[in-house]
Amino acid sequence: MSGKNQHVVSRENGWAVRGEGNQRDTSHHRTQAEAERAARDIATNQKSEVLIHGENGRIRERNSYGNDPFPPKG
């Protein structure tokens, strides 16, 4: 992958997007759906992945917006 993977994570007052390895959040949003859209836009530009975390902090979904092999392996 080219850029940093983007994580959608729960915060006290809503949801945030954070680049993998970053110390600070990239953006804050009222809803998880808004945060997912923002993360998808960043990941599309950077050809990276979006990892969506549930309220419990565990990854519940991941989507790739970049260098996917075609045909897929396996």
Query: Quick one: three-class SS letters along 20-61?
Result: CCCCCCCEEECCHHHHHHHHHHHHHHHCCEEEEECCCCCEEE
pLDDT above 50 (res 15): yes
63 with 50: CB under 8 angstroms?
A: yes
**pLDDT, average across residues 25-53:** 97
**pLDDT band at 7; cut points 50, 70, 90:** very high
Q: What mean pLDDT, rounded, does the chain reach?
A: 92
pLDDT above 60 (res 1): no
The CA distance from 39 to 33, in Å, is 10
The CA distance from 52 to 64, in Å, is 12
**pLDDT, average across residues 20-39:** 97
What pTM does this model have? 0.86
